[in-house]
Amino acid sequence: MKDRNPDANYVGRFAPSPTGPLHIGSLVAAMASYLDAKVHCGRWLVRIEDVDGDRNVAGADEHILASLQRCGMAWDGDVTWQSRRTDLYDAALRQLGDRVYPCGCSRREIADAQLALSGRQAQALIYPGTCRHGLAPGKSARALRLKVPQSPPCVIAFDDRWAGHVSQDLTDEVGDFVVKRADGFWAYQLAVVVDDGAQGITDIVRGADLLDSTPRQLYLQQVLDLPQPSYLHVPVVVNDVGEKLSKQTGAQAFDTGAAPEVLLTQALLPAARFLGMELTAASIDDFWRQAVPAWKNVLMDTCAGMR
């Protein structure tokens, strides 16, 4: 594992989508990003990623913030909400200029085109570039897509501090991707890159389910002329059938009214164990005192395992 750039003043963040209350899976991502900021004497910001109006659950943001507080995770500065920052996304879209084009394809049409081209239904939809040179007659604009260079292919590689070297051919494996969705909502990829840039985030620590999105974000950073943060993707908690834990897949939400001992034994200690830290804390304060040096050891062990 590569360590981060030691010269940069660390600014990390936890960026939950308010699609439900905090649970053990999201606590693992919050804990890893919080501990990494503490180990590097950095700042830790919290940003509520509520751009997807369809998936937001009323009150989930407040529940998540209350859970973080109850667990003793204090953030620096003010919490930000993406839904209040749409001017920034508009400005980024203007900056992208004619790299962005309207697309009239439905998911079904993209899947059918993929099937026709490769003879098989792939798991991820790869956009074949149908509307790149203009909408077909009779089609109206749905989403906005960002052009990915075709030749030579756009291969994006980076060294993840946990997962090691990662490389993805955006041209072949992703295609031109959506920056504004057909339903009018900003795409996660654009909003996250704009906010990480605007907030001066130097270090992103989050779940490995987003590893696959990172090359698209690195490409957007390049075209928007934003600095590249360092990345660390921790494993995600899964249920018995291997699905990422979420409200939909049966995750138990936090009871924000639970006694501190309950939060300690049923949330903090299990989340720490998942991250490879066997702690024996008797109180929440004690937990964080032990967890900061323990995270340093996790980083060292991960590093040794990769050599």
> Any binding-site annotation on 105?
yes
224 lies in the binding site for ligand GLU (CB under 6 A): no
Q: Distance between CA atoms of 149 and 156, rounded to whole angstroms?
A: 11
Choices 12-20, 65-73, 91-99, 276-284 (CB under 6 A): range interacting with ligand GLU: 12-20
- Name the residue with tokens 């990390």: 12
Partner residues linked to 169 by β-bridges: 155
> Any binding-site annotation on 303?
no
> Any binding-site annotation on 278?
no
Q: What is the nearest approach in angstroms of ligand GLU to the Cβ of residue 123? A: 19
Choices 11-19, 93-101, 113-121, 270-278 (CB under 6 A): range interacting with ligand GLU: 11-19
> Any binding-site annotation on 34?
no
From residue 13 to residue 52, the character string flagging contacts with ligand GLU as x (rule: CB under 6 A) and all else as - is --xxx-------------------------------x---
- Bond prior to 152 in cis (omega within 30° of 0): yes
> Any binding-site annotation on 89?
no
> Any binding-site annotation on 131?
yes
Residues 6+ apart with CB under 8 A from 206: 15, 29, 32, 33, 232, 233, 234
Nearer to ligand GLU, 16 or 42 (CB): 16
In one letter, which amino acid is 159? D
Q: Distance between CA atoms of 233 and 236, rounded to whole angstroms?
A: 9
4, 206, 216, 233: which one binds ligand GLU (CB under 6 A): 206
Q: Is 203 left (phi over 0), alpha (psi -120 to 50) or beta?
A: beta
Residues 6+ apart with CB under 8 A from 282: none
Packing angle between helix 60-70 and helix 24-39, nearest 10 degrees?
50
Q: What is the nearest approach in angstroms of ligand GLU to the Cβ of residue 207? A: 7
Nearer to ligand GLU, 142 or 161 (CB): 161
Q: What is the nearest approach in angstroms of ligand GLU to the Cβ of residue 189? A: 9
210, 253, 284, 303: which one binds ligand GLU (CB under 6 A): 210
CA dihedral 277, 278, 281, 285 (to 10 degrees): 0
Partner residues linked to 250 by β-bridges: none
Residues annotated as binding site for ATP?
247
Binding residues vs ligand GLU (CB under 6 A): 15-17, 49, 192, 206, 210
